[in-house]
Structure 1
Amino acid sequence: MIEGPRSEVEDRNTPDVFIENLVVFDRPHVRLDELIRFNTLPAPHKSPFREWFESLAFTIIFVLVFTSYVAQATQVPTESMKPTILVGDHFFLDKIAFPANYPAFIRQYLPHRSIKRGDIIAFKSPTDGNIPFVKRVIGIPGDTIELRNKSLYINGTKFEEPYKIHVDSTVYSNDPWTPEELKIRDNYGPTTVPAGSYFAMGDNRDNSNDSRYWGFVTWGEIIGKPLFIYWSYESDPYMPGEKTIREWIDGYASIAIHFFNRTRWFRIGTLVQ
């Protein structure tokens, strides 16, 4: 028999190793859920009333913060901005970075939102600070404003206004027997807009309570700029005076009944500019 070469492994003198005192553990008969236990405290139980109250409180806080500093839904109840804004137009106001929305001590740290001629702004009413006015900026700081027979002149140059309308063709002069409110309606100034202020008028020039009658709008009174119309409903102009409960009920009932045929669907989404 021919033997092959022996390997080096076989030539090694490997000593025998004896394992003594070998301990063999049997598999324990214990379930995993018996080895690991989590002692957790039960979640506190909230009553339905508490959950409802917390949700309501959060919603109220969110709405107050959002409408005070970000955006606010509003409308113009008069025809002063016709035809740009009609009675019954509901739109959102952009209120970010306008100082009238913030406490006085933090206004100096806010960014300065620029206002230019032709912008439509909302501001606190000069006669009632709780009512917002919406008008168009005609003059910015340093401008000299003058009305001559219903025509606008800025810094001595006639200024074209494609957005304005006149519902009264009569032009009142500065004669002594003409009432003052009619004189300044058609002939006003010249007057120079001071720093930090603006001269604002309504687009419905013959039917607008604006800077011609109560002066300038200061920067600190501006609360926002209209964005777009989210709903438009044919309604009557605002009538001064307190409404009775019956009148409120009749008004809302009329909206519910005539919602579809009086909603001006074509105006929804229109930018206010």
Structure 2
Amino acid sequence: MQRLRSSLRWSRFPRSILYWSPLLFFSAHQFPIHTVLGRSMQPTLNPDESMLRSDIGLFCRLPIYGEDFRRGDIVAMRSPTNPHRMLIKRIIALPGDTVKALQPYPAAQVDIPEGHMWVEGDDPYHSYDSNHFGAVPLGLVESKLTGLLWPLERAGSVNRLHSSQRALERRRLRDNRLVKPIPSQKHSVRDSRDDISPRFIT
């Protein structure tokens, strides 16, 4: 009798997998988990100067469908110079903004055209970003950082990363580089995206 009950219990197991598989697939696809490599986003991400461990972030693809991009968002995006490479950068300026560029960009100021954004790393001296390749299409965004999963002492919502005194000072400096920000901070991404899963490089 016990053996019969056990076999019945196992016979229901595949059905449970089939029942929950759409939800599991949706979660894995819309909320990817990625390891952040490199130092371009220090001190926000990978603040360990020895680089012995890397942050693991929870990203979300839903904002790209809901047309929800804001200055200061940290996004995962395809490199405009190599579509097989992924970058993690911060959105500095959006369409209609005028931003003061940093070296080595050849112009002192840049007007961001419609459908584009200006992205940078938080460590400008170790970042390959818009100051090298200019404004990039919003359609290159793959997902937006929502929080950290690892290390545990820093785990939590992305808002926690932006609440320190150091983070607030950096935000003030970024805001001062916007010459002509437009009132609305919400912009759309209209193209479809394929699922790509290389390790992330910043």
TM range (shorter): 0.5 to 0.7
Cα shift at 1:222: 1.7
Gaps of 5+ in 1: 1-44, 100-110, 151-182, 233-264
* TM-score, length basis structure 2: 0.60
In 1, Cα distance between the equivalents of 2:45 and 2:83? 21
Larger radius of gyration: 1
Alignment of 1:30-179 (within 5 A): 61-69=22-30, 71-86=31-46, 88-99=54-65, 111-113=66-68, 115-147=69-101
* 1:267 pairs with one of 131, 150, 154: 154
In 1, Cα distance between the equivalents of 2:34 and 2:72? 20
Cα shift at 1:266: 2.1
Gaps of 5+ in 2: 1-6, 47-52, 163-202
In 1, Cα distance between the equivalents of 2:58 and 2:74? 12
Higher-helix-fraction structure? 2
Alignment of 1:205-216 (within 5 A): 205-216=124-135
Which segment drifts farther, 50-59 or 81-90?
Answer: 50-59
1:177-226 per-position Cα deviation (integer Å, ceiling 9, x unaligned): xxxxxx516x6442211011100000010111111222323222222221
Q: Is the 8 A contact 1:75 1:89 kept in 2?
A: yes
Cα shift at 1:133: 1.8
Q: Which residue does 1:184 correspond to in 2?
A: 104
In 2, Cα distance between the equivalents of 1:58 and 1:211? 45
In 1, Cα distance between the equivalents of 2:21 and 2:131? 39
3-state SS of paired residue (2:24):
helix
3-state SS of paired residue (2:59):
strand
Alignment of 1:194-233 (within 5 A): 194-232=113-151
Q: Which residue does 2:183 correspond to in 1?
A: none
Larger relative CO (CA 8 A, sep 6+): 1 or 2?
2
Q: Is the 8 A contact 2:149 2:156 kept in 1?
A: yes
Percent identity over the alignment is 24
Q: Is the 8 A contact 1:80 1:202 kept in 2?
A: yes
Q: How many residues align?
A: 148
Change in 2 beyond 3 A, CA 1:207/1:195:
same
Structure 1 runs, 4 residues or longer, greater than 4 Å off:
50-61
Alignment of 1:6-25 (within 5 A): none
Two-structure CA RMSD over aligned residues (Å) = 2.9
